[in-house]
């Protein structure tokens, strides 16, 4: 049994990150650090640490003498993120399928169940649970650098995933795509897994183009 203890800064990071991904923090206003610290019941020192880390993650932009702003989403950024995912992720999913153990397959199923539960009951958690599901398909491959790159792109994708799921019916489609993907991944049908992973990413990008450029 392992116990993971997160520092106060890490807890704040997770909370503020969720507020950014879900759109609760506005893009066009500087983050009021005093008000945010008060609302979280923390001092400004761990809050500043969390905000600096969020800037490193690409979710915030720091401006001299003005503070931190939420980085605006854009069609250009979506194109870049999803192009990189298409270049890396399908092959990483295949590598994961080829090396997955029974424990890995069980973990992936658990991640998909958690995603489905979030979609039904905790919409603010969907983007994070979606990332965890996709990473569960990649990690068994044992390629450290590839895994780190995919996770970084998944983190940058989260706001776009949240945006993508806004129209009614998108969650149902995503569930079906995830179910088909994990079936191919579990059974070692790597050609189908690669095709499904690519189609899933491409379909999301196509929808985002309409949403962000419309």
pLDDT at res. 172: 87
What's phi and psi for 29, nearest 5 deg?
-125, 140
Domains and CATH numbers, the chain: 8-70 (1.10.10.10), 75-213 (1.20.120.530)
Q: Kindly report, residue by residue over 176-192, the tens digit of the pLDDT.
A: 999 999 999 999 999 99
Could you give phi then psi for residue 167, rounded to 5 degrees? -65, 145
Convert the pLDDT of each residue in 89-111 to its tens digit. 999 999 999 999 999 999 999 99
Give the pLDDT confidence of 115-135 residue by residue, as tens digits.
999 888 887 788 889 999 999
Of the pLDDT bands very low, low, confident and very high (cuts 50, 70, 90), residue 171 is confident
Half-sphere exposure of residue 13, counting CA atoms within 13 Å on the CB side?
16
pLDDT in tens, 41-85: 998 899 999 999 999 888 899 988 889 999 888 999 999 999 999
pLDDT band at 4 (very low <50, low <70, confident <90, very high): very low
**pLDDT at position 91:** 97
Least confident of 19-23, 30-34, 140-144: 19-23
pTM (predicted TM-score)? 0.83
Q: Are the C-beta atoms of residues 40 and 15 closer than 8 Å to each other?
A: yes
For the range 18-25, what are the long-range contacts, defined as Cβ-Cβ under 8 Å and sequence gap of 24 or more?
18/124, 18/125, 18/128, 20/54, 20/59, 20/60, 20/70, 20/159, 21/59, 21/127, 21/128, 21/158, 21/159, 21/162, 22/124, 22/127, 22/162, 23/159, 23/162, 25/70
């Amino acid at each position: 049994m392992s116990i993971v203890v997160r520092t106060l800064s890490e807890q704040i990071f997770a909370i503020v990150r969720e507020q950014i991904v879900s759109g609760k923090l506005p893009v066009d206003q500087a983050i009021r650090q005093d008000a945010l610290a008060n609302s979280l019941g923390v001092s400004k020192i761990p809050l500043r640490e969390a905000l600096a880390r969020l800037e490193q993650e690409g979710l915030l932009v720091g401006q001299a003498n003005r503070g931190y702003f939420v980085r605006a989403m854009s069609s250009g950024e979506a194109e870049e993120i999803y192009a990189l995912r298409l270049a890396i992720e399908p092959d990483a999913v295949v590598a994961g399928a080829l090396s997955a153990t029974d424990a890995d397959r069980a973990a992936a199923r658990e991640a998909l169940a958690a995603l489905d539960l979030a979609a039904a009951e905790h919409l603010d958690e969907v983007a994070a649970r979606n990332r965890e599901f996709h990473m569960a398909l990649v990690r068994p491959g044992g390629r450290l650098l590839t895994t780190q790159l995919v996770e970084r792109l998944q983190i940058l994708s989260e706001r776009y995933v949240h945006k993508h799921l806004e129209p009614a019916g998108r969650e149902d489609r995503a569930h079906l795509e995830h179910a088909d993907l994990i079936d191919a991944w579990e059974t070692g049908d790597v050609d189908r897994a690669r095709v499904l992973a690519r189609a899933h990413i491409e379909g999301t990008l196509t929808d985002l183009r309409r949403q962000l450029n419309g």
